[in-house]
Amino acid sequence: MRIKYIFIVIPLLLILFLLQSFFWVPTFDDQSKGGGRRLAQFVEGAAGDASILNPILAADSSSSSINSLIFDSLLDYDEELRLRPRLAESWKIYEEVLFFAHGRPAQEIADRIENVRKVSASLADIEKVEILPREELKIGKEGEKEERIVKLPPRIKLTLTSVAPDIFKRLEPILGKDYFDKGGLADYIGSSGGDLSSYLAYRSIPVKEHNPVILFDLRRGVKFHDGAEFTANDVLFTYRAIMDPASLSPRVSDFTPIKKAEAVDRYRIKVTYNELYSPAIGSWMIGILPEHLLNQEALKKEALEKGEDPAKFTMRDSGFNRNPVGCGPFKFSSWRSDEEIRLVSNDKYWEGAPNYEEYIYRIIPDSLGQEIAFYGGALDSYSVRPHQAKRLQDDERYQTFSGLSFGYTYIGYNMRRDIFKDPRVRRALGMAINRDEIIDYLFYGEAEGVTGPFAKQTDFYDKNIPNLPFDPEGAVKLLEVAGWKNVDGRLMKDGQPMRFSIITNHGNDQRMQILTIVQNAWKKLGIEVSADTVEWSVFLEKHINKSDFDAVILGWSMGIEPDLYQIWHSSQSGPYQLNFVGYGNAEADKLIVQIRQEYDRDRQIELARKLHKIIYDDQPYTFLYAPRWTAVMDKRILIKNADGTYSKITPTNTGNFRYYFNRWVKLPVMPQLKQ
Kindly state whether residues 611 and 648 are assigned to the same domain.
Answer: no
Among the candidates 177, 212, 247, a domain finishes at: 212
> What is the C-alpha to C-alpha distance for residues 293 and 290, in angstroms, rounded to an integer?
6
Domain encompassing residue 42: 2-71+328-383
CB atoms within 10 A of CB 214: 22
**Amino acid, single-letter form, for residue 619:** Q
Among the candidates 212, 227, 252, a domain finishes at: 212
Give backbone dihedrals phi and psi of 622, rounded to 5 degrees, phi first: -95, 105
Read off the CATH number of the domain in which 533 is found.
Answer: 3.10.105.10
Residue 277 belongs to a domain: no
Read off the CATH number of the domain in which 369 is found.
Answer: 3.40.190.10
Read off the CATH number of the domain in which 127 is found.
Answer: 3.30.70
From the number of C-beta atoms within 10 Å of its C-beta (0-12, 13-18, 19+), residue 509 rates as middle
Kindly state whether residues 7 and 54 are assigned to the same domain.
Answer: yes
> What is the three-class DSSP state of 179?
coil
Q: Which long-range contacts (CB under 8 A, 24 or more apart) does 73-76 make?
A: 73/284, 73/285, 73/286, 73/287, 73/288, 74/216, 74/218, 74/235, 74/284, 74/285, 74/288, 75/281, 75/284, 75/285, 76/285
Kindly state whether residues 459 and 550 are assigned to the same domain.
Answer: yes
Kindly state whether residues 539 and 523 are assigned to the same domain.
Answer: yes
- The helix/strand count (H/E) of the chain reads as 22, 27
What pLDDT score does 382 carry? 86
Kindly state whether residues 55 and 149 are assigned to the same domain.
Answer: no
Domain count, the chain: 4
Residue 299 belongs to a domain: no
What pLDDT score does 144 carry? 54
Residue 464 belongs to a domain: yes
> What is the C-alpha to C-alpha distance for residues 439 and 447, in angstroms, rounded to an integer?
6
**Region label for 176, one of left (φ > 0), alpha (ψ between -120 and 50) or beta (otherwise):** left
> What is the C-alpha to C-alpha distance for residues 299 and 310, in angstroms, rounded to an integer?
7
Residue 272 belongs to a domain: no
What pLDDT score does 5 carry? 38
Kindly state whether residues 412 and 445 are assigned to the same domain.
Answer: yes
> What is the C-alpha to C-alpha distance for residues 512 and 284, in angstroms, rounded to an integer?
35
Kindly state whether residues 558 and 650 are assigned to the same domain.
Answer: no
Kindly state whether residues 348 and 485 are assigned to the same domain.
Answer: no
Kindly state whether residues 46 and 104 are assigned to the same domain.
Answer: no
Residue 48 belongs to a domain: yes
Residue 254 belongs to a domain: no
Kindly state whether residues 529 and 666 are assigned to the same domain.
Answer: no
Kindly state whether residues 564 and 431 are assigned to the same domain.
Answer: yes
Question: Tens digit of pLDDT for each residue in 169-225?
Answer: 999 999 988 888 765 555 555 444 455 455 555 556 678 899 999 999 999 999 999
Residue 397 belongs to a domain: no
Among the candidates 315, 350, 383, a domain finishes at: 383
Residue 229 belongs to a domain: no
Kindly state whether residues 572 and 538 are assigned to the same domain.
Answer: yes
Global pTM exceeds 0.85:
no
**Residues in the chain, pLDDT under 50:** 1-35, 190-193, 196
